[in-house]
Amino acid sequence: MTSLISIERQIRLIHGQKVLLDSALAELYGVETKVLFQAIRKLMKQDETESKPIGFLWDKG
């Protein structure tokens, strides 16, 4: 189990915003980054039909 302290150490401050990188989030959930993005894409498709926001996601690519 990931401790709160180790999660806090992975949070980065970028342009005044606290950010958890995809690799750190995938590690937190115990999945590969690829699997994390598959789940995000699935949620975004559901979001389009249900009109519920999933939060903020920034893709640098």
Residue 22 lies in a domain: yes
- Is residue 55 within 8 Å of residue 44, measured between CB atoms? no
Structure-token pair, residue 16: 């005044």
User: Where in the sequence is the domain holding 30, given as residue range(s)?
Assistant: 4-50
Instruction: Note the pLDDT tens digit of each residue in 14-29.
Output: 899 888 888 888 888 8
Residue 55 lies in a domain: no
Its pTM stands at 0.64
Question: What is the chain's alpha carbon radius of gyration, rounded to the nearest angstrom?
Answer: 13
Residue 59 lies in a domain: no
> How many structural domains is the chain composed of?
1
pLDDT bin (cut points 50, 70, 90) of residue 32 is: very high
CA atoms of 46 and 49, how far apart (whole Å): 5
Residue 60 lies in a domain: no
pLDDT above 80: residue 56 = no
- Let me know how many helices (H) and strands (E) the chain has, helices first: 3, 2
Residue 57 lies in a domain: no
Residue 45 lies in a domain: yes
